[in-house]
Every structure is written in C-alpha cells, then in structure tokens.
Structure 1
Amino acid sequence: MNENKKTLGELLNASYSAFGYAIGFSCLVNLLMLTAPIYMLQVFDRVLPSQSSDTLVYLTIIAILAIIVYGILDIARAQVLTRVSWWIDNKLSPIALAKSLDHTLLGGSYAAQSLADITTLRQFLSSPSIYAFFDAPWIIIFLIVIFLLSFPLGIIATLGAIVLLSLAILNEKVSRKPLEQANTLHMNNQESISNSIRQAECIQAMGMMSPIVSKWLHNNEAVLAMQCTASDRSGIVLSFSKSIRLILQILILGVGAYYVINGELTSGAMLAASIIMGRALAPAEQAIGAWKQAINALQAYRRLQHYLSQPETRPPEILLPKPQGRIDVNNLLYIPAGAKKPVIQGVQFTLMPGESLGIIGPSGSGKSTLARLLVGIWPPTNGTVRLDGANIYTWNRQDIGNHVGYLPQDTLLFKGSVKENIARMDKIEDAKIISAAQFVGVHDMILHLSHGYDTDTSRYHLSGGQAQRIALARAFYGSPALVVLDEPESNLDQEGLAALELIYKNAQKSGITIIVVSQRPMLMKHCNKVLVMRDGHMERFGLYAEIIR
C-alpha cells in the first residue's frame, strides 16, 4: 500500500474527531447567539409591561452568563481549529518535503509548491473564514425561529436567505475561473523568479537585469489582471449582498412595525426577529467574502491529495548490512523523461572494494549523468547499479547515506556552520567531523576561518575553492564505502589540487571505492581503472596505464 496515501487517510480520519468538536462548539455558539434576541423579547414583552425589577435582574444575569459561555466556546472553537491545522501541517510537511526532494530530482514541477499548499490549507483552517461553513446549516434553524415569531417575517427572511445564497453561488461561478488561472500563473511566475535569483551572478555579469525584470513584470501583470478580474466580480457581488441585507433589515422592521401597530405582533418579537435574521444571513454574506480564500484552500487540498497519492519513486527496501564497496554496473541505459535518445547506453563494469575509477570524456558525453546513476539519485531506464549486490537505487536512502559520499558538479553548501555541513546537517560528532576534514586535508584551512568549524557559511563569504574542499570533507564524512566525485578539481588552486591527490591516496589506503569524474586525464594517475565516455557510450575501459598513454 502507498505509505503516503495511508498516512494521508490516517490524518483525515484523525482530524474528523477534532472537526467534530469544532462542529459541536459551533452548534452551542449558534444556540447562545439567540441570547440577545430572547433577552430583548423578554424585556419588551414581559419586564416592561409588568414593571418587575427582579425579573429584569434575573434575566440580565442569565443573559450575561450565557454570553460569557458563548465567548468561551467561541475561543475553544478557534483553538481547536488552530490546533488541528497545526497538527495537519506538522504531519504533512515532512512527508511533502521528503517527497518533494525526491520528485525534484526526477523533474517534478509541483514539488516546491507542496509546502506552500500546506501553508494555504493551514491558514484557511485556522482563519475565521471557515466559520461561515460551520454556521451555514444554522440558517435553517434561525429561519424556523423567525417563523415561530411571525410567519410574514419568516417569509421575508427566507426570501432574503435564498437571494444571498444565490449571490454566493453566483460569486463562485464568476470568480472561480479567474482565481484558478491567477493561482496557476502565480505558481509559474514564482518558479521562474526563483530560477532567476539562483542565477543572480550571471544576470549581473551579462547585463540581463532588464529583460529578466521585463519578463517577470509581463507575467506578474497577467497574474494581477486575473486577480483584479476576480476581485472586481467578487466585490460587486459582495456589495450587492450588503445592500440586500440592509434592505431586508429595513423590511423586517417596517413589516414588523406594521404588525405591531395592528396588534398582531409585539415590539419585542419584532426586534428579536430583526436580530435573528441578521444572524441567519451572516454565514451567506461571510461565504461571499471568504470565497477567494476557500477556493485557494480547495485547490491546494486537491493538489496535495493528488501529489501525496502518487506512487513512491523508490520501492521499499529492508535495511542491509554495511557494504564493503563492490560496484557492479550491468548494461546501464538511461533515457530522461520526455526524451527519446538515450543519454547513457550499454555501460557496464565492476569495481572491487577499495578500487578507484576515473571517468573522462568530452562535455556532453554523459559523465555527470552516470555519476548520478552510480549513487542512486536517478533510476536507470534499464540495467542496474549494484553496491555489494544490492540495487543502489532501491537501497533505503537514510541508511545508504551512511555508506556513500557524493560531490556534485555544482557544489553548494547548506545554510549553517562548517561543521554542520561536514556532518551532513545531522548530529554533530566532533571526532568524525575533524577526521573527515583531516582526511581531505582541509582541517588547517578551516581553523583559519573567522570562527573555525563554527563559521556560518551563509554569512562568511567562502571562496569557490574553500566551499569545494568543505564539500569534499562532507563526501568523506563517516568513512563511506563508496565515494563519487564529479569534477572535484573545479575551483581548486594548487594547494587544493595537491590535497586532492592526498584524498586519492587516503581513499585507497582506507579501502574506499572511489569514482572520479573529470575532463583532465592527468588527474586519473592515482586511479586503478579509467572509463572513457563518448556520446553516452563506453569508448574504452581498462587500467590507467592502458588508457592514458
């Protein structure tokens, strides 16, 4: 069974009880809202004619106590909805984040939006906007009470409720499409601007600011136009509904006064009916005002439901013992999603524990793609990469992180301290951190930073070479069995390149299987074997002395 689907179902089932409490509190809150009209009815129809001060005091005390209870229950309802929205967020966010990180590697476009959708859902569930939907069923009950007070006034209130509910439906019809289009355009625009921000250096260096801003402005204008259309339509309906409600209040008082004059209705009943009608029509008017937020929440819910119910990209796997580092690549084929031509085809080789392999070839030959397949980032279209006989792609990701190190072509450090980055943002173990730094020859460099291992990488400007060497320490943290380095020499100066040779030697002494991707054949001299890639195929494979002459 899909674990995410199961978890989502469990979340919904567990939330039903909390929403049940919220509905129960809403029932009591709405009942207690009858306090004011009942109090007014009793004062005008009983207390004033009888001139009874004692009755007035008792009624006032009871009404005040009822209003206090009303306030407590209203607070309780708000807190229940706030807590359940937080609980859903806390449960869903880790699942969505993990799934997003996995799907992003496979080109998923929605991954980054999933957490924003959870926030949208949480904000709606904890906002007063949702009260309109809890209170809506009470429209009928309040109308029945008005009928009990006066049949003609009940007719007026019912017709008014029908008109306002019709306006709410009309508001949904006229605003839904532009809101959905605006939300879609906004998501695309945010994705585009996030990509531009990541390329800020390139934009500044090549004077691309003007076209980038112009493109964003054009897209943003389309979003604003759609939102403006929806707001205009919703605003017209909302204003019309307010006018209708005021007219109904006047009609209730006017018709009520007519019946009071003719002795067919008491003044208390007239005022009570006016107050109750205002309460009966409030949910419909609130729904019109909250419709935009409700549509956004509904869209977010549907996207999350669809996203989290998708099958796992990796089948479940049991925890396996620590590998020795044997690599078996069998007839590897990789075709990217949406492409027809293979990027990798027919690659196969074996490395014994402790052996090293250098992968060289021209740009576009598939070296970096092969590196990603070797550490299980992407699933091969056909064939397998096996670590100690187990398919590396299906290996438990949390577990395999203890046995595999990886340096991507584009090195980025996480926001945090140097030691947190070396420890892979996990539990800080000083001995293991220092050991990894010494292993790659970066210990002294780190000590010369402003705060040593506690230096904040997001605040202290590290050079490309410094970041690269810290990332190398991260790759070798915890003595992994397999390490794959994609162009580790990039950004390195002579000192860094000398340290790189030390890394190769230390890896061989430690029995670590190491695979190095590079465009420099001379960097392969410490590798046991060399693989030459061209157009996604193995052009040559063999010992270093045989390949590099």
Structure 2
Amino acid sequence: MHFGRKNLPKPAESKGARPALDAKSVIREARYTFVRGLGWAGVMSGFINVLQLTVPLFMLQVHDRVINSQSTDTLKLLLVIAIGAIILYGILDFIRALIFQEMAKSLLRRLNLPAISAAMGVALEKGSVQGTQVLRDLSDLRTFINGNTIGAPLEAIWAPIFLGVMFALHPYYGIAGLIAVLTLIGLSLLGDLLVRQITKEATDANLRNIGDIGSTVSNAEAIEAMGMLPALAMRWRLSQQHASELLDIGNARSKGMYSVSRSARFGMQICVLAMGAYLVIQGETTPGAMIGGTVIMGRLLLPFDNVTRDWRAWVSALSSWGRIRNILEERQSEREIEPTPRSEGPLVVDNLVYAVPGANVPVLRGINFNLNPGEILGVVGPSAAGKSTLSRVLVGAAKPTAGGVYLDGHSTYLWERGSFGDMVGYLPQSVSLLNGTIRENIGRMRHANPRKVIDAARAAGVHEMIGRLPLGYDTPIGAGRHTLSGGQQQRIALARALYGWPRLLVLDEPNANLDAEGEASLLRAVKQAADAGAMVVLIAHRQNIMQYAHKLLVLQEGRVKQFGERTDVIRSMTQDDDNIKSLPTVKRNQHNGGAA
C-alpha cells in the first residue's frame, strides 16, 4: 500500500515555519565578540607595552643624568614618574584581564545552547563520546581565553615600539633586535611543523581510548561476571601506551624547541650586552644606553619566547573553535523552526528510507503507512528487521535519508523540539532515567504540573510503587542515588512517555522488563491513550500485548512485508507456513480467538 506525496501538505508550508536559530548567525556573532574583545585587549596591550619601557628608561636616565649631575631633585622626579607609570601599568593589565574574562563569558553565553543542541545531535548519530567532545571544546576555549596564554601574541604585535626605541638608542641595537625577533619566529614555526601532526595523532588516539573505556564501563556487570577484565585491561594498556608514546614524542619535540628558543634568547641578550659594551668603548653610546638597550632587548623577545612556549595552546584552542564551528555549520538548525501548536491530524510515513552514514545497505527501505488518531499500530518482525530504527525515525531522533514522517502534515524531524515534545511520548528500547527526582523525570525535567505527573504515574500503574519509595515523588534517582530495578525504571519511563497525554505514543519493547502486573498496567495505559485520541505505535516481540492493536506492520530486512488491519494481516499470515514460523504467537492467538 502506498500513500503518495500528493496527499501531503509540504513541510515548507508548515504553520509559520521559519529558522529560529541560524548557525551562521551564531558563529558570526561569536566571532565578532571575540574579535571585538581581542581588539580592545590589543589596544590595552599597546599602552601596557609602552608602560613596560618604564624600567629600562628609568635605569637609563638614572645612570646618565642623575649620577652624572648628582641631582636628588631629578631622582625624585624620575621616581615619582616611574611609580605612577608602574601603577598605571597594573591598572591597565587588570582591565585587560577583565576584558578576557568578559570575552570568555560572552562566548560561552552565545555558544552554550547551540553547542549543547549540536552535542545531542552528534550523540544520537555518532555516540556520546563525539557529542561530549563538543562540550569539552567549549570548556577548553573558555579556559584558554581566561588564561594568560592569549595575551602573548597581543604583546608581540607591539614589538615595533621596542624596536623603534632600540633603533633610537643606536642602529646596531635595532638591527640586532630585528634579527633576534625573526630568529624566534622561525623557531616557533619550525616547532609547530615538528609537533602538529604527532599531537593530532595523540589526541585522536586518546579520544578513541576514552570512548572504548566509556563503552566498556557501561557493561561492567558482564565483564566482571565473565572474567573479561584482564583481557580488556591488556587491550587498554596497549592502546594507552600507543597514545602515551605519541604524546611523549610531541611533548619532547615541543620542550626541545622551547629550550632552543630560550637558549637563543639568552644568547642574543648576551650578544647585545657585549655589543653595547663595545659601542661604549668606541664612544658611540653611553653606559646608560647599554644597560637600557639590554633590558629592552629582553623585554622585546619575551612575548616571542612565550609564543613559542604556548604555541600548542593556541593551536589547540583554534582546533577547538574549528570543531565547534564545523559541528554548528554541519548541524545547521534545519529542525529548529517556530513552535507549532498542538495538532490533531494523522501520522503518515511516506516512502521512508533510512541508511546509517557510510553504510551501503539502508536499514529501512520504502516504508509506507498511515495511522489515524485513536488507532494502535503493532510493529512486529524478526531481530534486525529495523523496528527500533523505525521508532527513532518516527519521533524525529534520526533524520530520514529519503522520504519522511509527517504528523498532521509536519515533518517530525524538522519540528521544533519543544512543541514537538508536547505532542509525543517515547519509550526507547534502552531505558535510561536522568539524574534528578522521580517527579522531574516523569515531568520531563520541566517545572511540571504535579497533578499531571500523578495522572501519568497512575496511568502507568506506578503511583503506589512511587509512594513506597523513601521520599515518594521527590526520591532522587540516577548515579549514586536511589537504585531502581529494571522493571521500575521501565514503568517510570512509561509514565514519562504518557505525561501530558501526547498525540503520538511510540513504545519500543515496553514490556521487556515487566512482570504480569506491569504488563497489565501497560495494556491499560495503551488502551486509555488510544481512547483519548492518541496514535500508539507498539514494537514488541511478545505478541500478547498486541491484543488491542488495530493495525499490524510486519517488517523484514527493512521492508514492509505486511501492513493492514490486524485481522487481515493475521489471515494473510496464516496462509504462509514460513510466515507462521516468523510469528508463531500471532497464529496461536488467532486460532484462540483472534488476538494477536
């Protein structure tokens, strides 16, 4: 059975659809914030660098003027000016630090929500490790901006000020300073060439190790029960050793280049001092200029030395920003449209195709069916038929490769997630509750109406069970908190799906951990939701919960093998012995009274 697109409203014509969150705008505003803050910090750095000339110029004037003239009045005046300049230097340096702090806070404020949204999308598609990497990048970027590393290049930009003073003292000083600066820049570039690739390989290897360990820890019970820890520990050790070796090579190269850079800086300062002494002997400059030129030379080279030392921090920060920008651009907010009012229309799946990125064979191929309000659809089929994937696509947790899923004419994937959440209840195959209270979990982590929370709990048959917990609905659950059994978690997750009586209810293996009492409560909840006008999609292997289904969808190898009214599908299946084997319970129930 096929339902063509000609009967469907176009998604682009959805009510008031327009982009609510533009990734390019977010990136542009974040970049503008950073550049503007960096510009102000750069201006401050110019004044700070000028004020840093206070010490060498004070030394020069004391040596050449005060000592020669024996004037204490001149010394007092110079001292007052120098102290005032140093105080002003401290004030401006503090203001620059506040600018960096405000930059970091502003960037975090602009990027936080888009980054979290992107992280959730990546976690859905590629796993939690890749998703959390986005948040780590954001934290690393903030730490970098708040640190002292970011200021070194800004000070290096104002190197011409010091070079100009050195040329004013004597042309040889200026030439020596210019040669020294170019030498340090060359060493920095050489160090980057030696370290960049090896550091990237080490970072990638470390991320893979973190992902492997994270996925392994989630299966701690099986590992402990079957004695798999020694073998896994050996695998971790080998992979970590490889990553550690790469990191050690990168650190060794980086530290080696920094040592060469520092040695070169100290050597050039000694050469400038020796050159100054020679010029004093030749009568071409004064002893004060010799001392001042040496101090200015050290100050000139210091930011370049810091840039060499902190170059990897800059590269790492740029890499973090690049990953954040790329993920925001790749996950351009195609699904973030204007909130849509609660609708009453049917669910239509039109020529749906879904393929895992990089896979040659689609998981779902040409799925077509519709479901009207108040109807219950049972989805059955062998393992790996695509049932759980279908449930994820139905609720917009996965993007269709082709075709689409439409609820009242709106694409479930493109629907703004806040208003879509009011329309949909979802119970995934792998149940997981969030850190918080039971009330917060059932209420979907919102400031939920207590009456609606209790209504959902009653519908799921867990109200009395919750009342027996230490703090009732306020019992905290999650990591390190009150532990619930698998059946209790599944029933609370069912209450969460039922909260607010959604229009579309998708339940994937909802009875997997339930006993007879829990299964009876599930059946009552499904019947009650359908009677209230909801469309219910039930995915299960235990066919007895299909007794209330109005329609059946049989999936096999990602294709629709049978779809239609439950009795029609059962009648068709009983005519094929192979199909009977694939659905033994359906046939048995049909002969026992027509229940599937």
* Superposition TM-score tier, normalisation by shorter sequence: over 0.9
- Does structure 1 retain, via aligned residues, the 8 Å contact 2:424–2:502? yes
SS in 1 for 2:141: helix
User: Partners in 1 of 2:335 and 2:114 — Cα distance?
Assistant: 16
Amino acid at match of 1:249: Q
Residue 130 in structure 1 maps to residue 150 in structure 2: yes
Check if 1:476 corresponds to 2:501: no
| Cα deviation 1:40-96 (Å, max 9, x = unaligned) | 111111112222222211211111111011011111111211220222122112112
Deviation, 1:371, is 1.4
2:256 counterpart residue number: 236
1:19 paired residue number: 38
- For the pair 1:99 / 2:121, whether they are aligned, the reply is no
Residues 229, 488 of structure 1: alpha-carbon distance in 2 compared, 3 angstrom cutoff? same
Partners of 2:439 and 2:474 within 8 A in 1: yes
Alignment partner, residue 448 of structure 1: 468
Give me the TM-score of the superposition, normalised by structure 2.
0.88
Shifted more, 341-350 versus 452-461: the winner is 341-350
Match of 1:531 among 530, 535, 553: 553
Equivalence map 1:320-399=2 (5 Å): 320-324=340-344, 326-399=346-419
Contact 1:525/1:544, CA 8 A, preserved across alignment: no
* One-letter amino acid of the structure 2 residue matched with residue 354 of structure 1: G
Counterpart of 1:129 in 2: which secondary structure? coil
2:428 to 408, 421, 437: 408
Distance 2:378 2:230 in 1: 43
State the Cα distance separating 1:545 from its structure 2 match: 4.3
Q: Secondary structure at the match of 1:290?
A: helix
> What is aligned with 2:107?
88
Return the alpha-carbon distance in structure 2 between the equivalents of residues 119 and 408 of structure 1.
31
What is the TM-score normalised by the length of structure 1? 0.95
Matching residue within 162, 182, 187 for 2:202: 182
For the 8 Å contact 1:356–1:529, the answer to whether it is kept is: yes
Task: State the Cα distance separating 1:421 from its structure 2 match.
Answer: 0.8
Which string of whole-angstrom CA distances, capped at 9 and with x for unpartnered residues, describes residues 475-499 of structure 1? 0111111101001101112221221
Q: Structure 1 pair 310/541, CA: closer, same or farther in 2 (3 Å)?
A: closer
Mapped to 2, the partners of 1:86 and 1:267 lie a distance apart of: 49
Letter in 2 for 1:373: V
Distance in 1 (alpha carbons) for counterparts of 2:512 and 2:113 = 34
User: 2:561 aligns to what SS in structure 1?
Assistant: strand
Q: Which moved more, 1:138-147 or 1:100-109?
A: 100-109
Partner of 1:201: 221
Partner residue in 1 for 2:171? 151
C-alpha distance in structure 1 between counterparts of 2:172 and 2:370, whole Å:
90
Counterpart of 2:581 in structure 1 is none
SS at match of 2:507: strand
Asked if 1:31 is matched to 2:31, the reply is no
Q: Distance in 2 between matches of 1:137 and 1:163?
A: 16
The one of 507, 516, 520 aligned to 2:542: 520
Confirm or deny: 8 A CA contact 2:50 2:161 kept in the other structure: no
3-state secondary structure, aligned to 1:401: helix
Change (3 A) 1:488 1:241: same
CA distance in 1, matches of 2:414, 2:367: 19
| Aligned residue among 61, 65, 72 for 1:53 | 72
- Tell me what 2:280 maps to: 260
Q: SS of 1:106's equivalent?
A: helix
* Aligned Cα root-mean-square deviation (Å): 2.1
Structure 1: distance between partners of 2:120 and 2:304 = 42
Deviation at 1:411, TM superposition (A): 0.2
Correspondence for 2:327: 307
**Residue 153 to residue 123, structure 1, CA distance change in 2 (3 Å):** same
Q: Which moved more, 1:271-280 or 1:156-165?
A: 156-165
Change in Cα spacing, 1:318 to 1:120, as seen in structure 2 (3 Å) is closer
The amino acid across from 1:61 in the alignment is V
Distance across 1 between alignment mates of 2:97 and 2:203: 28
Match of 1:274 in 2: 294
Distance 2:134 2:118 in 1: 9
* In structure 1, C-alpha distance between the alignment counterparts of 2:105 and 2:217, rounded to whole Å: 31
1:173 aligns with 2:193: yes
Counting matched residue pairs gives 549
Give the secondary-structure state (helix, strand or coil) at the position aligned to 1:30: helix
Is 2:436 the counterpart of 1:420?
no
Is 1:325–1:482's contact at 8 Å kept on the other side of the alignment? no
Q: In percent, how many aligned pairs have the same letter?
A: 39
Segments of structure 1 that go 5 or more residues without pairing to the other structure are none
Q: Per-residue deviation at 1:474? A: 0.5
Distance 1:197 1:445 in 2: 30
Residue aligned with 1:330, SS: strand
- CA distance, structure 1, for counterparts of residue 347 and residue 141 of structure 2: 45
Give the partner amino acid of 1:511: G
Segments of 5+ residues of structure 2 without an aligned counterpart are: 1-18, 571-585, 591-596
Residue in structure 2 matched with residue 76 of structure 1 by the alignment: 95
Shift of 1:35: 0.5
Structure 1 contact 447–453 (Cα < 8 Å) conserved: yes
In the aligned structure 1, how far is the partner of 2:231 from the partner of 2:333?
Answer: 38
Preserved CA contact (<8 Å) 1:325 1:513: no
- Write the letter of the residue equivalent to 2:556: R
Match of 2:477 in 1: 457
Alpha-carbon spacing, 1:368–1:46, altered in 2? closer, same or farther (3 Å)? same
Deviation per CA, 1:447-494: give whole Å up to 9, x if none.
111111111112111111111111001001111111010011011122
Within 1, Cα distance between the matches of 2:266 and 2:340?
A: 71
Aligned residue among 243, 252, 268 for 1:248 = 268
Does the CA-based 8 Å contact 1:316-1:394 persist in structure 2? yes
- Residues 1:62 and 2:84 are matched in the alignment: no
Give me the whole-angstrom Cα distance separating, in 2, the residues matched to 1:435 and 1:499.
13
Instruction: Give the secondary-structure state (helix, strand or coil) at the position aligned to 1:437.
Output: helix
Change (3 A) 1:210 1:90: farther
- Residue of 498, 502, 506 corresponding to 2:524: 502
Question: What amino acid is the match of 1:41?
Answer: L
Distance 1:282 1:508, change over 3 A: same
What is the rounded CA distance, in whole Å, between the counterparts of 1:488 and 1:333 in structure 2? Answer: 25
Note the alpha carbon deviations across 1:128-187, whole angstroms, 9 max, x for none: 112221011222321221121123333333332232222222211211221122122222
Compared with structure 1, are the counterparts of its residues 314 and 434 closer, same or farther at alpha carbon in structure 2 (3 Å cutoff)? Answer: same
CA distance in 1, matches of 2:180, 2:122: 50
1:116 aligns with 2:136: yes
| Shift in alpha-carbon separation, 1:517–1:144, aligned structure 2, 3 A | same
Change in 2 beyond 3 A, CA 1:250/1:331: closer
**Structure 1 counterpart SS, 2:548:** coil
- In the TM superposition, what is the alpha-carbon distance from 1:316 to its structure 2 partner? 5.2
Counterpart amino acid of residue 501 in structure 2? S
Contact (CA 8 Å) 2:373, 2:530: kept in 1 or not?
no
